[in-house]
C-alpha cells in the first residue's frame, strides 16, 4: 500500500511507475484526479466555513455583551457547523474510495529498475563460477533421481495429485543437509536470528505482505478456519512485528526460518511439469530484514550477498539478474533474481528472489519504528530466499552428476552426512 498523500501530491510518480509495469492507467488516473479535485474543493470550502464561523462567533460575543438578540445569528453558525460536519463525512468517503483503489496498487518502482516487457529484458549484473563441462551428455535431476530410486513421483501423485513428489533415502537426507547448511550459514555467519513460525496464517497477514487481495487464487485457503497455507515464510516473518513499534536502536532486525511452502502455481501449467522445479509443496529457508529508510539499499545488497554465499559454498555456478519493470512482483520496488546453472536442463533456473519492498508492506501492516527524535516512522522490509531447498537439491544433483548415473556430495555438505 502506498502513501495516499504522496499519490495526491505527486500523481505523476505513481502513473509513470504504473506505465513501466504495463498497467493501464486511464481509470486510475481519472480516479486520482477526481478524488484530488474533490478533496481540494471540500477542504477549501471547509476552511472558508471555519473562518466564517470564527468571525461570526466573535460577533455573537459582541452582541451578547451588548444585550442584543443572538438567536438568528446563532442559527446561522449552527448551519455552518452542520455543513462542516457534512464536508468531513464526504472527505472520509473520498479517502475510503482512494484507500480501496490504493490496496490494489503495485509498489512504486525504484529508479534503478530497468524498463522492459518480459524476463527477456532483465539485466545481468553478475556471474559466479564456471559452467561445468562433462565428458558425457548430462542428465536431468529427475532422470538421475528416478534411476537411483531416491525420487518417487508416481507415489507422490498417488498420495496427493499432480506436482507432488516423495524423497527416499539419500534425497531426503540431502534435503535435510541443505536445510542445515543454509540455517547454520545464515545464523552463524550472516547475522540472522533463526525463528520457527506457523505455516497457517490469517487474512490480515496475507494482506500485509501483499498476497491479498491480488493473488488470492495463487495460494491454498482453509475457508472453514479463515486461514491460509503460506506461499513463503516471508508472510509470518514479516507479520511478526505487525501493528508494533520497534525501537530504532534495534534495527536492522534480520531473521530467517525454514518452512514448508505451498503454492497452487496458478497459470504455470505446462512449465517445468517434470521434476521438482515447479511443485505445490516445497521447503525453503527465507530471509527477512526490517531496517530504516536510509539503510534499506545497503541491506538489500547485503541480503543478496547472503543468499549468494550458499551457492558459493556449494560451488554451484550462477548469475544475478536485476528484474525489469514487467517481471518484478507487484509488492516489490526492486528485485534481484539469483539463477543457478542446471546442466541437465541446459539453462539457468531461478533459485532465489531478493526484494526491497521499502515501506509498501510496512504501511499495510503498520510496522513502525521510533526514531531517535521520537517520531514513529515506517520501517523498510526486505526478503529473499536463502535458498529454495528443492531447487538447490536439483542443482546439486545436476552439477555434481557422474558418468555412472549417480552424483557426488559437495564438500560443504559432507559434515552433515557423517
Which of the two residues, 323 and 267, has the higher pLDDT score?
Answer: 323
> Has 340 been labeled as part of a binding site?
no
> Percent of the chain, pLDDT > 90?
74
- Amino acid 269: pLDDT: 56
> Has 280 been labeled as part of a binding site?
yes
- Amino acid 102: pLDDT: 86
Listed as own residue / partner, the contacts of 55-59 with beta carbons closer than 8 Å and 24 or more positions apart are 56/80
> Has 141 been labeled as part of a binding site?
no
**Does residue 142 contact residue 163 with C-beta atoms inside 8 Å?**
no
> Has 286 been labeled as part of a binding site?
yes
Band of pLDDT at residue 129, cut at 50, 70 and 90:
very high
- Amino acid 95: pLDDT: 79
CATH topology for 4-102 is: Helix Hairpins (1.10.287)
> Has 281 been labeled as part of a binding site?
yes
- C-alpha gyration radius of the chain: 28
Q: Which residues contact 37 (CB under 8 A, 6 or more apart)?
A: none
Which tens digit of pLDDT belongs to each residue from 16-65? 999 999 998 888 888 888 887 888 898 899 899 989 888 888 888 888 78
> Has 300 been labeled as part of a binding site?
no
Map 175-225 to HEC letters: HHHHHHHHHHHHHHCCCCEEECCCCEEEHHHHHHHCCCCCCHHHCCEECCC
- Nearest CA-CA partner of 280 in 272, 289, 288: 272
Residue 141: CB atoms within 10 A of its CB come to: 28
Q: Which residues of 350-381 are buried (b: 16+ CB within 10 A; e: fewer)?
A: ebbbbbbbbbbbbbbbebbbeeeeeeebbbbb
CA distance 372 to 164: 50
Which tens digit of pLDDT belongs to each residue from 64-107? 787 778 887 878 888 888 899 999 998 888 878 777 788 889 99
Distances (CA, A) of 415 to 170, 264, 280: 15, 35, 30
> Has 260 been labeled as part of a binding site?
no
> Has 351 been labeled as part of a binding site?
yes
> Has 44 been labeled as part of a binding site?
no
Domain boundaries, the chain: 4-102, 119-417
CA distance 410 to 181: 11
**Taking all residues of the chain, what is their mean pLDDT, rounded to a whole number?**
93
Which tens digit of pLDDT belongs to each residue from 316-373? 999 999 999 999 999 999 999 999 999 999 999 999 999 999 999 999 999 999 999 9
Domain 119-417 sits in which CATH superfamily?
A: Bira Bifunctional Protein; Domain 2 (3.30.930.10)
> Has 239 been labeled as part of a binding site?
no
> Has 282 been labeled as part of a binding site?
yes
Q: Average pLDDT of 233-253?
A: 98
> Has 115 been labeled as part of a binding site?
no
Distances (CA, A) of 76 to 47, 55, 72: 17, 12, 7
> Has 119 been labeled as part of a binding site?
no
> Has 368 been labeled as part of a binding site?
no
- Amino acid 121: pLDDT: 98
> Has 233 been labeled as part of a binding site?
yes
Q: Which residues contact 395 (CB under 8 A, 6 or more apart)?
A: 141, 314, 316, 340, 341, 342, 349, 351
Band of pLDDT at residue 271, cut at 50, 70 and 90:
low
- Amino acid 347: pLDDT: 97
- Amino acid 98: pLDDT: 78
Q: Which residues contact 192 (CB under 8 A, 6 or more apart)?
A: 186, 254, 255, 256, 287, 306
CA distance 167 to 407: 16
Amino acid at each position: 500500500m502506498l502513501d495516499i498523500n504522496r499519490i495526491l501530491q505527486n500523481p505523476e510518480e505513481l502513473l509513470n511507475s504504473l506505465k513501466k509495469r504495463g498497467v493501464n492507467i486511464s481509470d486510475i488516473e481519472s480516479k486520482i484526479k477526481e478524488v484530488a479535485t474533490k478533496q481540494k474543493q471540500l477542504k477549501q470550502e471547509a476552511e472558508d466555513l471555519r473562518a466564517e464561523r470564527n468571525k461570526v462567533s466573535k460577533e455573537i460575543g459582541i452582541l451578547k455583551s451588548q444585550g442584543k438578540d443572538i438567536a438568528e445569528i446563532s442559527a446561522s453558525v449552527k448551519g455552518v457547523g452542520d455543513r462542516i460536519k457534512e464536508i468531513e463525512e464526504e472527505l472520509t468517503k473520498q479517502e475510503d474510495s482512494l484507500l480501496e483503489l490504493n490496496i490494489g496498487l503495485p509498489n512504486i518502482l525504484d529508479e534503478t529498475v530497468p524498463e522492459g516487457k518480459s524476463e527477456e529484458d532483465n539485466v545481468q549484473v553478475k556471474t559466479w563460477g564456471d559452467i561445468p563441462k562433462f565428458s558425457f551428455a548430462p542428465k536431468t535431476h529427475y532422470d538421475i533421481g528416478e534411476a537411483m530410486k531416491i525420487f518417487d513421483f508416481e507415489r507422490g501423485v498417488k498420495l496427493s495429485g499432480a506436482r507432488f513428489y516423495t524423497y527416499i533415502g539419500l534425497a531426503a537426507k540431502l534435503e535435510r543437509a541443505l536445510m542445515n547448511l543454509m540455517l547454520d550459514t545464515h545464523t552463524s555467519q550472516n547475522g540472522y536470528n533463526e525463528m520457527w513460525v506457523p505455516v497457517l496464517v490469517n487474512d490480515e497477514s496475507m494482506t500485509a505482505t501483499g498476497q491479498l487481495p491480488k493473488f488470492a487464487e495463487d495460494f491454498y485457503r482453509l475457508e472453514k478456519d479463515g486461514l491460509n497455507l503460506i506461499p513463503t515464510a516471508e508472510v509470518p516473518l514479516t507479520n511478526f512485528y505487525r501493528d508494533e513499534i520497534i525501537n530504532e536502536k534495534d534495527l536492522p532486525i534480520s531473521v530467517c526460518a525454514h518452512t514448508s511452502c505451498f503454492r497452487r502455481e496458478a497459470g504455470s501449467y505446462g512449465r517445468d511439469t517434470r521434476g521438482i522445479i515447479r511443485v505445490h509443496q516445497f521447503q525453503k529457508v527465507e530471509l527477512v530484514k526490517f531496517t530504516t529508510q536510509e539503510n534499506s539499499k545497503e541491506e538489500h545488497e547485503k541480503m543478496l550477498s547472503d543468499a549468494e554465499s550458499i551457492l558459493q559454498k556449494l560451488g554451484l555456478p550462477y548469475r544475478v539478474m536485476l528484474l525489469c519493470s514487467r517481471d518484478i512482483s507487484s509488492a516489490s520496488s526492486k528485485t534481484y533474481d539469483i539463477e543457478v546453472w542446471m546442466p541437465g536442463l541446459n539453462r539457468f533456473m531461478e533459485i532465489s528472489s531478493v526484494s526491497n519492498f521499502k515501506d509498501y508492506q510496512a504501511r499495510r501492516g503498520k510496522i513502525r519504528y521510533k526514531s531517535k527524535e521520537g517520531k514513529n516512522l515506517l520501517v523498510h522490509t526486505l526478503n529473499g530466499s536463502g535458498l529454495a531447498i528443492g531447487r538447490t537439491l536439483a542443482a546439486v544433483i545436476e552439477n555434481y552428476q557422474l558418468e555412472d548415473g549417480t552424483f557426488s556430495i559437495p564438500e560443504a555438505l559432507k559434515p552433515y552426512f557423517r
